[in-house]
Chain A
Amino acid sequence: MSSAKPKVALFVTCLVDLFRPSAAFAAVTLLEAAGCTVDAPQSQTCCGQPAYNSGDKADAMALAVQTIRALMDYEYVVVPSGSCAAMIRHHYPDLMAGDAELAAQARALAAKTYELTQFLHDVMHYKPDAAASGNITYHDACSGLRELGVQAQPRALLQSPILENDDGETCCGFGGTFCVKYTDVSTAIADKKLDKFSATGATIVTGGDLGCLMHLAGRAARRGMDLQFRHVAEILAGDIQTPAIAGPEK
């Protein structure tokens, strides 16, 4: 194996790990196709975002330290989620601000951590062999969009015209624990978003954040809407055999 291949740690994220391993395998396929060596260290669990956003700084810090230790020795860290990538890139350094050594480690990790499509496109200059097919619309998850500037990259990688909704920069209502704390508001926001997706004529909704996709897919299923939800990694890797998220009831 060539030593010139960048050594990448895949930070799988808890949702992908538990609910959608196919997205992680797709990410591995893509990273390898882009010329990387991929590892997924077993000492990773959760990035700590639920604790952080719920105000539990102590636990968030403990999980951040654990994650930093698990990932710090790799050349790059790639995350199939804009929200968890943004947690590492933006919020770890903030969280560690009180401890000079940890802060330096957090900054170092932040500097080499990327959201998947961002890494494939901006760092590896990767281009899949074929354009994605199907009537696809894209959901720009808020953290990736606003904290990392992920917007053009997935579109460039998909290489097929995206059926854009007219409110692309508005939240889907997921918001992590928000979606169960304020269920009704979260659902109302999802409904507006789903109606916008429906109006595009798309049959496939894809995006880079499994949380948003599970929330949207779960709601669409409850409403009986004819929309398929897939992680963008799967589509880019050409995996459309795996049942869609929340896919067939039986």
Chain B
Amino acid sequence: MSQQRMAILSRLRTSLAARGVAQDVHGVDARLTARTSNLIPARGQLQGEALRTQFQQFVIKTQASIATVSSSSNVPEAIGEYLMTSALSGPVRLSGDGWLATMPWDRISSYTPCTGAISETDGVGVSVALCGIAETATLMLTSGATAPSGLNFLPPTHIIVLRGGDIVGALEDGWARLRLASNGQMPRTVNLITGPSRTADIAQTMYMGAHGPKRLHVIVVEGG
């Protein structure tokens, strides 16, 4: 226990005592355990079709693009189409996600996806989101053995694949998914991504692709 730590805590306690605030260790711990949600805006409480529709609309509002496919076996083709219509080239790097590995990448010939360590020359990164949050069209991605966070930032084009059933209403629903998926242990990195990278640091004008991806494309997989 460092001397500085003691000094700071002691000053804090003196200040709080001067304000007449009673120490409430149990109250704090109860709050940390309860993790009660605060007000969730109505736009974060949609369900069913309305939820999907809002998610789609908001994704576009964040200047990302979105496509829906009926099955995960259509994902490689959907990526091919996106690359073609956007006239994009360069190596397509897949995260090590197990779900991606099950997809029929050999069915397409317009590009050759690669796996393994990220490279500076990667043109496109493909990752899987833990969930999509319809309130703000935010995608939640977590780091892990098969999910490098670098892939979310380094390639100039980022494609995020998402199961339709993983679209949730509010950020709080996202936290519930996260706690479930990570067994209560926060992953090293949780990225909440809402649109492609941008900056307004030059004369208040918006430019896309400041440091992270210039383009963000979301592919929603309905069904299996």
In the complex, A touching B, CB below 8 Å? Answer: no
Q: Which residues of B pack against A, CB within 8 Å?
A: none
Q: Which residues of A pack against B, CB within 8 Å?
A: none
